Structures are given as structure tokens and as C-alpha cells.
Amino acid sequence: MTYQEPIYDVAQIAQVEIYSPNVDASVAFFRDLLGMMESGRTEKSVHMRAYEDFYLRSLTITHRDEPGLGHIGWRASSPQALERRVAEIENLGLGRGWINSDFGHGRAFLFETPDGHSNRIFWDVEYFDCPEAERSCLINRPQRRPLQGVPVRRLDHVNIMASNVTKTKSFYEKALGFRTRENILLENGEVEAGAWLSVSPQVHEIACMLDRSGSKGRLHHVAFWYGTPQHLNDIADVFAERDIHVEAGPGKHGISQALFMYVYEPGGNRIELFGDSGYLILDPDWKCRTWTEENLERGLIFYGSPVPQEFFLYGTPEVPDAAVEAE
């Protein structure tokens, strides 16, 4: 049996941009409740980061009439790796060309998934230069822990909705070297309803779920990491006091074994908060774990209340109910 050599040309997820019809309210949510800091502003965008994100930005909120995904930004593992991935993306016919720079990073190559989700990959980044007053006594931490809200520590992953999960998954595997860690196969293996992929020991930095509306390019959620399960209870208390709707959780997924909570930020995008990101994959010969109808209930919820039906249907931008019901 021929072993396929892993590709390590992508180092990590570096940033995500979301659209919001109410940027001020969205910024206040991430700043005041999740403890994120503003790094700068450009035209219609506000750039933010969590206190353990080393780069100048990990989240950008841009004004649009509808919520949704702006782009996902990946950092290559070297300048040479960047060129190799660009060549492969161009071979697949989904490249959109180079830009010289953007806030927080240098030259970047733009590309899309088969469903039109916007991505970019780059090597040069601008690191966060912490003001003296905010420096941590821990020299391996970009800044000290903020006092506002229940601060998230870093960007964790993005989950996109796909009209064809298999095509989207295969694109990330071929174009960027992602490996599929877990997936969902339904209807005797005929329908791939979800896939979780990573380029690191994490279970996923990108995931895709079947969009039953038939739409393309929609966002399911963006996730931020706490790393401490108690923080989910703390932030749930904050949300409850402010009448902020929690869609699901705190609970534990079987898939990824992560402790989770889902909430909507004021712009309408779903946000996941990770109390614990689950297990790490250190086995270089890891085989994808496949969930089916027989065990999917435990895969979705290992413990905690079930997720509502809207969890499988709602994404941004939102589509009319009729489009979902017709599917």
C-alpha cells in the first residue's frame, strides 16, 4: 500500500473576517463580553485579536448589509511553502490572484472553495507590539489577560456550510494539505454531511457541514478558544444576565470531544466558544473516524442538551425558510 506523504505547507489558521450589518454592536460584543482588543480600523472594517493571538489581528468585522463570511486567512509554513500551495491552487482553477498586502499581513494569494468561500494564504505577518502597560510577566504570552468580560484566548477554527461537503473537503486536502480527521456519512455512505480537517494535531481548523438549503458560500460558525471549561459557565452567566440567546450548550460534542457553547453575535453570525478543544492527534497514520446514523446522536452530543433544529439549518447570510423547507 502506498503511503501518501503529508503536506505541511500550511502552518495555522491566522485570521477570519466576518460581515455584520451592525459593526459597532458586533465590536462591543467581542470587546466587552469576550475580552478581545481592537487593533485598528480601515475603511468599513474593525480589526481585533484575543490576548493570546500573537499576530496583529485574528478577527476582522466588516460592514455589509447581511452577515456572513468575508474570508479565512491561512499562514503558510514558509515562503517556499506559500509558492507551492499557490501553484496547486492555480492547478485546481480556483485562484483569484495576488494582493500586495492587507492590514496585519503582507503579500497574499486569494482563492475560493468550490462553493465560493473566500480564502487567502500568506507568509509575512505583522506581530502584535504590546504597549508596556499591558505586557505580561509571562514572556511567552503576547499580553496580560484583560479584565473585561470573560476573555477568549485565541481564534480556534471556522466551520463553513457546503452544498457538497465531499468536494469542499477534497479541495482543502488537495490545495492546502489538510487531513480529514472525522466525518459524517449518511444514507449508507452516499451522503457526506460533515467533515473536520486539520493541518496540525488539532482535530480541526476548518470544518464543513452540508447546507441543506442548496446555497453556496455560507458560514456556519467561527470558534474561539478558552481552554478552561469553567469559562463556559462564566460566560453563560454573563449572557443570561444580558438576555443574549444561547443556542446550545454548555455541552460536549462526541465529534472532536470538545466542550462547547453556541451564541449569536449582534450581527447575526453564530459564534462557538470552546471550553476545551478535545483531543490531539499525534498519530502520523491517523485514520478518519466516520460517524453514521447508528452513532451520530452521541457524535453530536456526548452530554448536555440536544442542539436545536436551527443548528443544522441556520447559516449566514440567512436564506428564506422556503428554500430550506424545499430541500
Angle at 223 between CA 195 and CA 292, to 5 degrees: 25
Residues 52-100 have pLDDT tens digits of 999 999 999 999 999 999 999 999 999 999 999 999 999 999 999 999 9
| pLDDT value of residue 321 | 66
118 pairs with which residues across the strands?
A: 112
Residue-averaged pLDDT of the chain: 95
The pTM assigned to this predicted structure is 0.94
* Number of domains, the chain: 1
Residue type for position 96: R
319 domain-assigned: yes
Q: Tell me the backbone φ, ψ of residue 103, rounded to 5 degrees.
A: -55, 120
The pLDDT tens digits for 40-58 are 999 999 999 999 999 999 9
The CATH number linked to 194 is: 3.10.180.10
In a domain, 41, yes or no: yes
- State pLDDT tens for residues 159-173: 999 999 999 999 999
Q: How far apart are CA 318 and CA 65, in angstroms?
A: 12
Compute the residue count for the chain: 327
Instruction: Of 61, 66, 68, 24, give the one whose Cα is nearest residue 46.
Output: 61
pLDDT confidence of residue 327: 44
Residue 215 lies in a domain: yes
Q: Encode burial over 132-161: b for 16+ CB neighbours within 10 A, e otherwise.
A: eeeeeeeeeebbeebeebbbbbbbbbbbbb
Q: Is 3 part of a structural domain of the chain?
A: no
In a domain? residue 138: no
CB-based contacts of 292, cutoff 8 Å, min separation 6:
184, 185, 186, 189
Is 140 part of any domain?
no
3-state class of 325 per DSSP?
helix
Q: Which residue has the higher pLDDT, 2 or 188?
A: 188
Closest CA to 228 of 152, 142, 148, 136: 152
The reply to whether 268 falls in a domain is: yes
For residue 241, what are the domain limits?
10-132+151-326
3-state secondary structure of 232: helix
Q: Which tens digit of pLDDT belongs to each residue from 299-318?
A: 999 999 999 999 999 999 99
Asked if residue 1 is part of any domain, the answer here is no
